[in-house]
Amino acid sequence: MRLKLFGNGLISALALAASIGIAEAKTDIIVAMQLEPPHLDPTSAAAGAIDSVLYSNVFEGLTRFGPDGSVNPGLAKSWTISEDGKTYTFNLHDGVKFHDGTDMTAEDVKFSLDRARGDDSANAQKALFAGIESVEVIDPVTVKVTLSEANSNFLFNMAWGDAVIVAPETIADIKTNPVGTGAFKFSDWVQGDKIDLEKNPDYWGTPAQLDNVTFKFISDPTAAFAAVMAEDVNAFVGFPAPENLPQFEADPRFQVLVGSTEGETILAMNNKLEPFDNIKVREAVAHAIDRQAIIDGAMFGYGTPIGTHFAPHNPDYVDLTGLSQYDPERSKALLAEAGFPDGFETTLKLPPPSYARRGGEIIASQLRAVGIETEITNLEWAQWLEQVFRGKDYGLTIVSHTEPMDIGIYARPDYYFQYDNPAFQELFAAITSENDPEKRSELLKQAEEMIAKDYVNAYLFQLAFPTVADARIKGLWKNQPTQATDLTAVVWED
């Protein structure tokens, strides 16, 4: 009897100690985001939500993006590039294990790259791998990739979420049970609600500070607001309602990080459709638009005006907003010159995000002021892809291009805005094969200027990326150089 009492006392003393321990350093976190991944294979879908949960947390590639967008070593600790820029030899980290305990070796790298570029590949960014001619295993920690031609973007391409390293043994179930090499391993997915990750105790690199991570999916902006206010979630990455941010900023419980993204938000014009095949009309549209009113009205002030298709935080960015200043009179004059003194009618097709829906209403009103009448159609993403992106059945549309360094889309004449300029295509080919950073930067600036002067699209603003978090959380990414919620360095502070 006495012994039992003693036993109870010991247990409660231990429990007390344990609870004090927990109070000192919280090691679990609930991170909310708007979109739920459709499945958990980053190598076979375009859905950014997959990367937002898994990139760098669960899956890693040969290289990885840092918080500032730089390309850093990932599973490859170093590499050598041949003189002609065609052969990359990667030296892998030793002793890397997948979450199922098997070793990650050069064979897995070969498997992953070959799978992504193979004939039956379902990779959404297959073009990233297009230049790969062969992948050879030299030894378990060395792999040689040969390209058909030099590609200065190759290391950058290998950092994408679509290029992470997966294992052949676990590939069959990857969509519901992803097995990677990251600092966290997947533990549970309640569809429609949340995904749980737990710390990987055998991680090859710097271990994560958190033990448990829960990603919660709250697509409704009102629910998002209430969930943060009620502290049901510790952080909300990509907070969907910019109008609510000032309330969080005023509240000492929260910190608000407004970071930049790779999302160039543009009013795209169908360059092969009358009257947008006329550069004067495109210029008129560009001058009819008051960027600040759109940023204020649609994004409540969050967003940086842009004058070309390039991210302002990039060192190679040139501010070209001066080419398309808000000037309705000039716009009307240009329309008259182009043969539309009374304006014209066109369609404005809008995908679901609020930047497009709200921005669309404002743009419609601005265009009406210079005589351009628009018929607004709100589309679901699937319809938008079908009608606008693939069908090219539209006059105007608003969309944010969130892929990093995607100015190359202007070199594709079949791309949905149908800009077909051989001079630009040549220029872009030169950029791709240029390995000298300074020359490359010069060429990029030329490219930015060329599309701005051709008024291919009306460039609106760089999408902001707001994160609202508990004030005690440190180490969250502020910017979104790629779609990711890298929690490997996140820690609670007192």
| CB atoms inside a 10 Å sphere around CB 369 | 14
Determine the size of the site formed for other proteins (CB under 8 A). 65
Q: Which residues contact 266 (CB under 8 A, 6 or more apart)?
A: 309, 398, 399, 400, 401, 457, 458, 459, 460
Q: How far is the CB of 351 from other proteins (least distance, A)?
A: 11
Near other proteins in 180-209, by CB under 8 A: 190-193
Nearer to other proteins among residue 262 and residue 283 (C-beta): 262
Does residue 244 interact with other proteins by CB under 8 A?
yes
Neighbour-count burial of 430, counting CB atoms closer than 10 A to its CB (0-12 exposed, 13-18 middle, 19+ buried) = middle
**Phi, psi of 311, rounded to the nearest 5 degrees:** -80, 130
Q: How far is the CB of 474 from other proteins (least distance, A)?
A: 26
Nearer to other proteins among residue 11 and residue 130 (C-beta): 130
Does residue 253 interact with other proteins by CB under 8 A?
no
Query: Judged by CB under 8 A, which of 8, 219, 325, 435 binds other proteins?
Result: 219
Query: Judged by CB under 8 A, which of 31, 45, 132, 195 binds other proteins?
Result: 45
Query: Judged by CB under 8 A, which of 10, 22, 127, 138 binds other proteins?
Result: 127
Does residue 297 interact with other proteins by CB under 8 A?
yes
Query: Judged by CB under 8 A, which of 5, 23, 119, 172 binds other proteins?
Result: 119
Using the contact rule CB under 8 A, the part of the chain among 122-130, 256-264, 270-278, 459-467 near other proteins is: 122-130
Using the contact rule CB under 8 A, the part of the chain among 15-23, 236-244, 279-287, 319-327 near other proteins is: 236-244
Q: How far is the CB of 9 from other proteins (least distance, A)?
A: 30
Nearer to other proteins among residue 270 and residue 488 (C-beta): 270
**Phi, psi of 309, rounded to the nearest 5 degrees:** -90, 70
Query: Judged by CB under 8 A, which of 361, 442, 449, 454 binds other proteins?
Result: 361
Does residue 376 interact with other proteins by CB under 8 A?
yes
Query: Judged by CB under 8 A, which of 52, 56, 123, 324 binds other proteins?
Result: 123
Query: Judged by CB under 8 A, which of 293, 323, 405, 491 binds other proteins?
Result: 293
Q: How far is the CB of 348 from other proteins (least distance, A)?
A: 10
Using the contact rule CB under 8 A, the part of the chain among 90-98, 239-247, 256-264, 311-319 near other proteins is: 239-247
Nearer to other proteins among residue 129 and residue 477 (C-beta): 129
Using the contact rule CB under 8 A, the part of the chain among 138-146, 238-246, 248-256, 438-446 near other proteins is: 238-246
Query: Judged by CB under 8 A, which of 86, 175, 280, 313 binds other proteins?
Result: 175
Task: Indicate the residue type of 125.
Answer: Q
Q: Annotate the chain with three-state secondary structure.
A: CHHHHHHHHHHHHHHHHHHHHHHHCCCEEEEEECCCCCCCCCCCCCCHHHHHHHECCCECCCEEECCCCCEEECCEEEEEECCCCCEEEEEECCCCECCCCCECCHHHHHHHHHHHHCCCCCCCCHHHHCCEEEEEEEECCEEEEEECCCCCCHHHHCCCHHHCCCCHHHHHHCCCCCCCCCCEEEEEEECCCEEEEEECCCCCCCCCCCCEEEEEECCCHHHHHHHHHCCCCCEEECCCCHHHHHHHHCCCCEEEEEEEEEEEEEEEECCCCCCCCCHHHHHHHHHHCCHHHHHHHHHCCCCEECCCCCCCCCCCCCCCHHHHCCCHHHHHHHHHHCCCCCCCEEEEEECCCHHHHHHHHHHHHHHHHCCCEEEEEECCHHHHHHHHHHCCCCCEEEEEECCCCCHHHHHCCCCCCCCCCHHHHHHHHHHHHCCCHHHHHHHHHHHHHHHHHCCCCEEEEEEEEEEEEECCEECCCCCECCCCCCCCCCEECC
Q: How far is the CB of 172 from other proteins (least distance, A)?
A: 11
Near other proteins in 382-421, by CB under 8 A: 382-383, 385-387, 389-390, 403
Does residue 6 interact with other proteins by CB under 8 A?
no
Query: Judged by CB under 8 A, which of 19, 72, 176, 325 binds other proteins?
Result: 176
Query: Judged by CB under 8 A, which of 94, 139, 345, 380 binds other proteins?
Result: 380
> Rounded distance, CA 267 to CA 398, Å?
5
Does residue 12 interact with other proteins by CB under 8 A?
no
Does residue 367 interact with other proteins by CB under 8 A?
no
Using the contact rule CB under 8 A, the part of the chain among 92-100, 272-280, 314-322, 352-360 near other proteins is: 352-360
**Phi, psi of 454, rounded to the nearest 5 degrees:** -85, 0
Nearer to other proteins among residue 223 and residue 471 (C-beta): 223
Residue ranges binding other proteins (CB under 8 A): 38-39, 44-47, 119-127, 175-176, 190-193, 216, 218-223, 225-227, 229-230, 232, 240-241, 243-244, 247, 293, 296-297, 352, 357-358, 360-362, 364-365, 368, 376-383, 385-387, 389-390, 403
